[in-house]
Amino acid sequence: MAIFYPFRNVGVFIILSLWVLVSAICAWGRPATFVQDFRSTWSESHIKQIDQGRAIQLILDQNSGCGFASRRKYLFGRVSMKIKLIPGDSAGTVTAFYLNSDTETVRDELDFEFLGNRSGQPYTVQTNIYAHGKGGREQRVNLWFDPALDYHNYTIMWNHHHIVFSVDDFPIRVFKNNEDKGVPYPMMQPMGVYSTLWEADNWATRGGLEKINWSNAPFYAYYKDFDIEGCAVPGAANCASNLSNWWEGPTYQALNAIQNRRYKWVRLNHLIYNYCQDKSRFLVTPPECLPGN
């Protein structure tokens, strides 16, 4: 419900109205649609619009996978999509939803990668973070539901304080901004929103032991309810540094009590790999993995 208070000073009302308008222009927050806000990046013939354009279907067969990307890049904000993953035997496939700066040598990237499985095994979601060209921060969580039965919401929140990956409002990973401690954090480069469906049976399922069964092809993944709220680039020059953007507010600077409980539950019961604990890769614990970071 909107509440309006009368102003005796019409000039003040006009100034405040202009300030609200400028703030709205600064941060782009319209719900995204595929046709208006995304483009095919490869194999457009394998991307089908369904439900009168309100959803899309990605197709993987022996000829090709496919991918799409947002038409604009964004610096800080929140991105979410509802995705229904490949049902049945999806071993060797990867469905990805990620942000990418498209600057290879100094890449910033925030990844959701859904690793296919053999029928009856849990779907694994791998997250990774690249900052200033440094990656190798993989974590894997087994989903606690079948993500092929229905759509589920996958969200990346990115602000000056932290990056939060969430599944249906359950945080599964938090990466804090520890640049003051020498840990790279994506701060300067805008990123586009990407998604791909592709063959990766050399590593995706059980480290590449499980190969794609092409007799089950074609494979389908479905997307809907695209939502992008952030600072579009090009756009207002001061948007990304504007700490009054809603995603920079106190509510979003740290997990609340409910989110913390959910996060601890996920990490305790469903985390199956954490690079922070991989001594074969890191003889010295990465600084962002130290207690308190």
Residue type, 155: T
- Sorted by where each starts, the structural domains of the chain and their CATH numbers stand as 34-288 (2.60.120.200)
Question: Per the residue annotation, which of 109, 199, 229, 288 is the catalytic one?
Answer: 109
Determine the pLDDT at residue 65. 97
113 noted as active-site residue: yes
Is residue 154 a contact partner of residue 169, using CB atoms and an 8 Å limit? no
Question: Per the residue annotation, which of 44, 104, 113, 138 is the catalytic one?
Answer: 113
From 152, 150, 283, 174, select the one nearest 225 (Cα to Cα): 152
pTM for this one?
Answer: 0.89
Phi-psi region of 153 (alpha: psi -120 to 50; beta: other; left: phi over 0): beta
Q: Mind listing the pLDDT tens digit of every residue in the chain (293 residues)?
A: 333 333 334 443 333 344 334 444 455 555 667 888 899 999 999 999 988 778 999 999 999 999 999 999 999 999 999 999 999 999 999 999 999 999 978 999 999 999 999 988 999 999 999 999 999 999 999 999 999 999 999 999 999 999 999 999 999 999 999 999 999 999 999 999 999 999 999 999 988 888 999 999 999 999 999 999 999 999 998 999 999 999 999 999 999 999 999 999 999 999 999 999 999 999 999 999 998 88
199 noted as active-site residue: no
